[in-house]
């Protein structure tokens, strides 16, 4: 039997307005509601578990509530994300598209103006398919947020095994089935009034036939995601958003086992995004109150050439600033030299640095062994953080600074 907390507001209103409740029942409900309101106001430091694409749509419901009652967001101090992307072979996992009211859409668009979200993010949130697009909106209502754990991020809209064709359909066909009712030609007048689409008539006349190709599936998908391998928060990390301006503890990991269904280019190809890109999390180091960062699978060794294109201007933008981060944990990092040196140079307040299972791809040769380069990184870290970082609090690929010095002798 469905519990009352699982019922949407619209159903609850019908129940309360059915005439079946006595005056005594209504008075009792009113007292309970007032009591719950008082208890809620007294509670501090809520932890919220944000489940991406959960079939019951609870994260959408929370944001809808916060749009009307923003004060509740002030009591959320921690957010942990769990990823439950739709399984291409199991329709029971396909959460229904979310439908915002006109008032709610207007509120989203107003937030977009205030906080300058990245291009397309407010639009993706408004279309109601990719629930991780509403995380930056949620963060606008959490000015006292201290901890954010993104979990094992899964950028793709659909989980899939590219060696199989679930239900006899390939991934392009499944993406079309999921998205063709929620693409730009349905929200055109509300969100992109000045653009024209020469293909609209053909798409609307027979969308399933028209939208069967790889290029069109990609076009549809990119109405909902910021690009292959990224999530919307990665494109919107800045201190204008209240929940990021207050943040002290940040964690980000991604599934790192090769071949897991759901790690790929979103179009059915065998591409494994088993890492977190440098450009994705670099701005996190410069949030004003950040103290601790834990990242698993940090890498710029990937199949997408644009990562360096994004990293270079990011480094140029931040090169004259120093990160306030105190504790930095990097697990299973696989990096070229530039971001390693850049990161070391931009630190000033480190108290602890741990780099577990380090791989410095392209960083050393037989004449220039790995431990020597690790020693150079350690030297930069100690020099830049001499007032705060004890030599015993540096770990590089399992080595202490003393280990590295012994290896050099």
Burial class (CB in 10 A: 0-12, 13-18, 19+), 279: buried
Average pLDDT over residues 298-318: 60
Whole-number pLDDT of residue 388:
95
- Whether the predicted pLDDT of 305 surpasses 60: no
- Mean pLDDT lowest among 67-76, 158-167, 271-280, 318-327: 158-167
114 and 23 share a domain? no
pLDDT at 265: 37
What is the CB-side half-sphere exposure of residue 299 using CA atoms within 13 A? Answer: 25
Domain membership flag for residue 19 = yes
Average the pLDDT over 185-213 and give the result.
41
Determine the average pLDDT of the residues in 369-395.
Answer: 85
Taking 3-state DSSP, the helix, strand and coil percentages for the chain, each rounded to the nearest 5, stand at 45, 15, 40
Pairwise CA distance, residues 293 & 362, whole Å? 25
Pairwise pLDDT comparison (142 vs 30), residue with the higher score = 142
Both 38 and 133 in a single domain? no
Q: Does residue 367 share a domain with residue 239?
A: yes
Residue 160 lies in a domain: yes
Give the SS3 label for residue 378: helix
What does the pLDDT average to over 309-325?
73
Does this model's pTM top 0.85? My answer is: no
Instruction: Classify residue 74: in a domain, yes or no.
Output: yes
Check pLDDT > 80 for residue 148: yes
Q: Are 407 and 371 in contact (CB under 8 A)?
A: yes
Report yes or no on 263 lying in a domain. yes
Q: If you write DSSP's letter for every residue of 234-301 in order, what string do you get?
A: GGG-STTSHHHHT--EEEEEE--STT-TT-S-SSS------SEEHHHHGGGGG-TT--EEEEESEE--
Among 70, 40, 84, CA closest to 243: 70
Q: What is the pairing mode between strands 352-356 and 327-331?
A: parallel
SS3 assignment, position 47: strand
Domain-located, residue 222: no
**Cβ atoms 129, 100 nearer than 8 A:** no
Instruction: With beta carbons less than 8 A apart as the criterion, state whether 364 and 386 touch.
Output: no
Torsion of CA 337, 338, 342, 344, to 10 degrees: 0
Residues counted in the chain: 409
Q: What is the CA radius of gyration of the chain?
A: 24
Which are the contacts of 365, defined by CB distance < 8 A and separation ≥ 6? none
- Tell me how many domains the chain contains: 2
157 and 20 in a common domain = no
Highest mean pLDDT among 2-16, 92-106, 313-327: 92-106
pLDDT-derived band at 409, boundaries 50, 70, 90: low
48-57, 306-315, 360-369, range with greatest mean pLDDT? 48-57
Instruction: Please provide residue 14's backbone torsions phi and psi, each rounded to the nearest 5 degrees.
Output: -65, -40
Between CA 90 and CA 98, with CA 96 as vertex, the angle to 5 degrees is 155
Q: What is the pLDDT of residue 366?
A: 45
Domain match, 297 and 282 both: yes
Same domain? For 148 and 246 the reply is yes
Span 69-87, average pLDDT: 91
Share of the chain above pLDDT 70, in %: 65
pLDDT band at 300 (very low <50, low <70, confident <90, very high): low
> Which range (120-129, 159-168, 265-274) has the least confidence?
265-274
Asked if the model's pLDDT at residue 348 lies above 60, the reply is yes
Q: For residue 140, what pLDDT is reported?
A: 98
251 plus 316 within the same structural domain:
yes
Q: What is the pLDDT of residue 103?
A: 93
Q: Give residue 305's domain range.
A: 46-164+231-408
330 with 277, same domain: the answer is yes
Tell me the β-bridge partners of 328.
293, 353
363 has pLDDT over 70: no
pLDDT for residue 7: 62
Both 20 and 132 in a single domain?
no
Q: In this structure, is residue 269 part of a structural domain?
A: yes
């Amino acid at each position: 039997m469905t519990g009352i907390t699982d019922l949407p507001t619209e159903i609850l209103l019908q129940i309360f307005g059915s005439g079946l409740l006595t005056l005594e029942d209504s008075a009792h409900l009113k007292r309970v509601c007032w009591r719950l309101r008082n208890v809620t106001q007294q509670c501090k430091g809520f932890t919220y578990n944000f489940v991406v694409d959960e079939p019951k749509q609870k994260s959408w419901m929370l944001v809808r509530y916060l749009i009307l009652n923003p004060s509740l967001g002030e009591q959320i101090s921690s957010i942990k994300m769990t990823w439950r992307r739709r399984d291409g072979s199991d329709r029971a996992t396909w959460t229904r598209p979310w439908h915002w009211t006109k008032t709610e859409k207007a509120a989203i668009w107003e937030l977009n103006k205030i906080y300058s979200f990245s291009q397309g993010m407010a639009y993706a949130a408004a279309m109601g398919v990719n629930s991780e697009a509403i995380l930056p909106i949620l963060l606008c209502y959490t000015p006292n947020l201290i901890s954010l754990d993104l979990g094992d991020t899964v950028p793709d809209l659909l989980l899939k095994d590219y060696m199989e064709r679930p239900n006899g359909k390939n991934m392009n066909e499944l993406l079309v089935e999921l998205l063709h009712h929620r693409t730009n030609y349905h929200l055109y007048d509300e969100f992109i009034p000045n653009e024209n689409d020469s293909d609209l008539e053909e798409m609307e006349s027979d969308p399933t036939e028209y939208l069967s190709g790889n290029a069109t599936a990609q076009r549809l998908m990119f109405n909902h995601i910021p690009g292959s391998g990224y999530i919307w928060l990665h494109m919107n990390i800045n201190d204008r958003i209240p929940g990021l301006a207050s943040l002290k503890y940040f964690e980000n990991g991604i599934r790192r086992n090769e071949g897991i269904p759901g790690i790929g280019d979103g179009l059915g190809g065998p591409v494994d995004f088993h890492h977190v890109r440098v450009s994705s999390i670099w701005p996190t180091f410069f949030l004003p109150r950040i103290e601790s960062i834990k990242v698993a699978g940090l890498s710029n060794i990937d199949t997408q050439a644009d990562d360096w294109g994004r990293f270079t201007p990011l480094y140029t933008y931040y090169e004259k600033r120093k990160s306030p981060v105190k504790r930095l944990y990097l697990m299973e990092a696989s990096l070229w030299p530039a971001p390693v040196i850049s990161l070391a140079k931009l630190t000033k307040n480190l108290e602890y640095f741990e780099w577990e299972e380090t791989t410095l791809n392209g960083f050393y040769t037989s004449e220039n062994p790995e431990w020597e380069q690790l020693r150079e990184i350690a030297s930069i870290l100690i020099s830049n953080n001499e007032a705060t970082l004890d030599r015993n609090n540096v770990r590089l690929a399992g080595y202490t600074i003393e280990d590295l010095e012994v290896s050099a002798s």
